[in-house]
Structure 1
Amino acid sequence: MPRALVLGGTGPVGRAAAHRLLVAGWQVDVTGRDPARMPPELSALGGEFKAVDRADSTALRAAVGEGTDLLVDCLCFTAADARSLLPLAAHATSTALISGRAVYIDAAGNHINSSTPPHFSGPVSETQPTMTPRDDIDHHSREGYGANKVAAELVALESGLPISVLRPSQIHGVGASPAREWAVVKRVLDGRTALLLARRGAGVAHTTAAANLAALIETVAERPGTRVLNCADPDAPNVLEICRTIAGHLGHEWEEVLLDDTAPVGLGCTPWDSAHPVVLDTSAATALGYRPAGSYATTIAPVLDRLVEAARNGQPPVDDGYFADYFDYAAEDAFLAGRVGRAGR
């Protein structure tokens, strides 16, 4: 029975990877700081929880033990994190390090977290230039996140160990925080009869299901190597298509009000809006043998059901300010009223 160790196994990516491997017959250990966060479905399948802090190198080495067939690191954000990973990866047949699309820059040097949105000329492949690696700024900052990820990638890739760096885009899945879909689900639960969308709902920010990332993790487990691979859903729905998918799954109908550039700034914004399309080229993963678990519509369904259930149980996603711009119903109603007034003149 092959063995996998998932660092950060209680988050959306870790739990999806652990679930896929357990179903495939693997022995899987997941790490975390709080045993209470161990997904019950993993325990039911035989998954084991190890209370280990990602920063505790001694405890991590003990968790690896004599070695493992697959090591998955969902918590590598800095070069220091990557350096602490190398001794563990040396005892693994294959290692998957989760990075992200935030590392990429366009021809002008802009990235996803720039004040000026990036403008890529087409689907972004793994050869697209990346940010300058840095480890002297906080990885929690807008400028620091991608730069620190690049620094971590370089440490891993230059080690020569069989480490696959995986770059997803806007991960969605059970346990994701923030759960971006709440921006639409709450509107449905609130009984809104109109959906306003900026840029006519044409914005595209490629999504990645945790289930699809789990499928790629299983692929690199079977084909160890030192490489970088993009991972995203097989389709790249625009904002309008995403909202229609969510509303359709929940059986809700509303008027779609597609706004143009004359609409007030901020009106109709969503978590997936993008001034220019940001789509990842996943052909390298496909060539390696990766096959996605499903489309956005099929993989998002369990997330929507969980959100509705949580809301009905009085436990909706914690709004720490992330959703502040998405539920300004007063501004929407004022705009809609003005539209009716203008039409009646």
Structure 2
Amino acid sequence: MVIGATGQIGRVAVGALARDGWEVTALSTRGGRDESWPEEVRVARADRADDAALAEAIGDGCDVLVDMVAYGPEHARQLTGLADRVGSAVVISSVSVYEDDKGRNFDTQAEPGGFPEYPVPLGEEQRTVRPGESSYSTRKAGLERELIAAGDRLPTTLLRAGAIHGPHCRTPRELYFVKRNLDGRRRRVLAYGGASRFHPAGVRNIAELIRLAAARPGARVLNAVDPDTPTVAEIAAAIDAVMGVEAEDVLVDGPAPAPTVGDTPWSVPVPVICDMTAAERELGYRPVARYAETLPETIAWIERRLADGRDWREAYPKMFQAYGDLFDYAAEDAWFGA
């Protein structure tokens, strides 16, 4: 049973599990089906916030429950309440649960000197934020804590995903460069010398981790990221190559020179690079795709969403909500002019 089956990761994971021989039920709010799924995939409809509806969908039970959309401790309790009908679980978490040894985390990054300085590479033993209701990160930490505590009743593999990318993303970081190229912007400002590294996590690689964890039940926490960590400048160049565009990077030492100039969705003052050794050891994991290899399908998806002059804020409202105005060309031109 895959909860959130028609989301960005779910679409790929359902296909990977079905092709691996599992009898898969794809559960989503609308009961949709992806055209890439094998015909034998069953489709079910339920709102995961409705405990009774979820329990009814699971019915007599399942060997593995995969949850793409669990966000807080209430969802952990929902899952553990079904432990007598579920063999094991695989649940998506986030690298945002980590904090550094000074207590800095993604929730403090906007404060002066508040960006976390993690070990490189960042392993699963790194401490995490205190669970709570104040943010996405603290709620994910609460989800993890409750599922870890219930590991003897419901063995759960928690996958801490990095910067997720691929088609169907509601907040595609690649939009930052794709739209500029479509708009004919041939100069772009990159903070921190374009050298920022924020570990990406492709949906194909996450789906492979889900596939392996489904076949090897256990109570564990694992990072879920790509085999490579390109810099912002390398990401821009790779997108240019796919789109057949030549653009100039204007590199700025240090942070963005203005609030809406040069601050890409990957721009961080220190690297965030995760260690995948534990997944290799626990699951025999090997990545199935590198970042640049997945870009053509990601870019094609973004271009389709922006077709016919569609406003990017309408196409990606969550992106606008999370990052603000990423395309303040007037501010960029004023900075170039100065």
Letter of the structure 2 residue corresponding to residue 20 of structure 1:
A
- Asked if 1:311 is matched to 2:306, the reply is yes
- Which whole-Å CA distance do the structure 2 matches of 1:262 and 1:146 have between them? 24
Alpha-carbon deviation of 1:332?
Answer: 1.8
Alignment counterpart, residue 274 of structure 1, candidates 251, 258, 268: 268
Contact 2:199-2:225 at 8 Å conserved across structures: yes
Cα distance, 1:30–1:313 mapped onto 2, change above 3 Å: farther
Written as runs of structure 1 = structure 2, the 5 A alignment for 1:250-289 is 250-261=243-254, 264-266=257-259, 267-288=261-282, 289=284
The 1:311/1:76 distance shift into structure 2, 3 A limit, reads: same
Query: Does the CA contact (< 8 Å) of 1:89 and 1:95 recur in 2?
Result: no
| Residue of 4, 14, 21 corresponding to 2:17 | 21
Deviation >4 Å, runs of 4+: 313-316
Task: Find the residue that maps to 2:135 and give its secondary structure.
Answer: helix
Is 1:169 the counterpart of 2:165? The answer is no
The change in CA–CA distance for 1:292 and 1:45 in structure 2 (over 3 A counts) is farther
* Residue equivalent to 2:222: 229
Q: Partner letter of residue 292 of structure 1?
A: P
Q: What are structure 1's unaligned runs of at least 5 residues?
A: 138-142, 339-345
Using the TM superposition, give the Cα deviation of residue 201 of structure 1 relative to its aligned residue in structure 2, in angstroms. Answer: 0.6
Rounded Cα–Cα distance in structure 1 between residues aligned with 2:308 and 2:216 = 43
2:76 equivalent to 1:78: no
Going from structure 1 to structure 2, the CA distance change for 1:337 and 1:265 (only over 3 Å counts) comes to: closer
C-alpha separation in 2, matches of 1:281 and 1:155: 24
What is the CA-CA distance between 1:262 and the residue it aligns to?
8.5
Report which stretch shifted further, 12-21 or 85-94: 85-94
- The answer to whether the 8 Å contact 2:192/2:255 transfers is no
Q: Provide Cα deviations, 1:146-176, integer angstroms capped at 9, x if missing partner.
A: 2221121121111112111110111112111
Q: Which amino acid aligns with 1:301?
A: P
Q: Match of 1:57, as an amino acid?
A: D
Listed as ranges, the matches of 1:186-225 within 5 Å are 186-225=179-218
Question: Are 1:269 and 1:325, in contact at CA under 8 Å, matched by a contact in 2?
Answer: no
Amino acid at match of 1:293: V
Indicate the residue corresponding to 1:119 in structure 2: 117
Q: CA distance change for structure 1 residues 61 and 104 in 2, over 3 Å: closer, same or farther?
A: same
Structure 2 residue 26 is the aligned partner of structure 1 residue 30: yes
Is residue 2:140 matched to residue 1:146?
no
Which stretch has the larger CA shift, 229-238 or 304-313?
Answer: 304-313
Residue 53 (str. 1) matches residue 44 (str. 2): no
Q: What is the Cα-based RMSD across aligned positions, in Å?
A: 1.9
Counterparts of 1:46 and 1:97, CA distance in 2: 23
Match for residue 294 of structure 2?
299
What code does the residue aligned with 1:195 have? Answer: R
Q: Are 2:105 and 1:107 equivalent residues in the alignment?
A: no
TM-score (norm: length of structure 1) = 0.88
TM-superposed deviation, 1:41: 2.6
- 1:282-304 CA-partner distances (Å, limit 9, x unpaired): 11001121111211111232111
The aligned residue for residue 334 of structure 1 is: 334
Does the 8 Å CA contact 1:185/1:304 hold for their aligned counterparts?
Answer: yes
Kindly state the Cα deviation for residue 215 of structure 1 after the two structures are TM-superposed: 0.4
The letter for the 2-side match of 1:327 is F
SS at 1:27's partner residue?
coil
CA distance 1:263–1:149, change in 2 (3 Å): closer
Deviations 1:126-145 (A, max 9, x none): 100011122xx3xxxxx422
Change (3 A) 1:297 1:322: same
Could you tell me how far apart the structure 1 residues matched to 2:256 and 2:230 are? 23
**1:263: Cα distance to partner?**
6.5
- Equivalent position of 1:9 in the other structure: 5
Larger deviation, residues 261-270 vs 176-185: 261-270
Q: 1:197 to 1:16 in 2, by over 3 A?
A: same
Secondary structure of 1:16's counterpart equals helix
Structure 2: stretches of 5+ with no match in the other structure: none
Kept after mapping to 2: 8 A contact 1:209/1:300: no
Q: Give the secondary-structure state (helix, strand or coil) at the position aligned to 2:91.
A: strand
Structure 1 residue 67: Cα displacement: 2.3
What's the counterpart of residue 95 of structure 1?
A: 89
Which string of whole-angstrom CA distances, capped at 9 and with x for unpartnered residues, describes residues 256-286 of structure 1?
1111249623321110111111111111001
> Given that residues 133 and 148 in structure 1 are in contact (C-alpha distance below 8 angstroms), is that contact kept between their aligned partners in structure 2?
yes
Q: Secondary structure at the match of 2:123?
A: coil
- Give yes or no for contact 2:190–2:256 (8 Å, CA) kept in 1: no
Contact 1:70 1:221 in 2 (8 A): yes
**Residues 262 and 287 of structure 1: is their aligned pair in 2 closer, same or farther, counting only changes over 3 Å?**
closer
Is the 8 Å Cα contact of residues 190 and 249 (structure 2) preserved in structure 1? yes
CA distance in structure 2 between the aligned counterparts of 1:7 and 1:51, rounded to whole angstroms: 10
Relative distance call for 1:313 and 1:24 in structure 2 (3 A) is farther
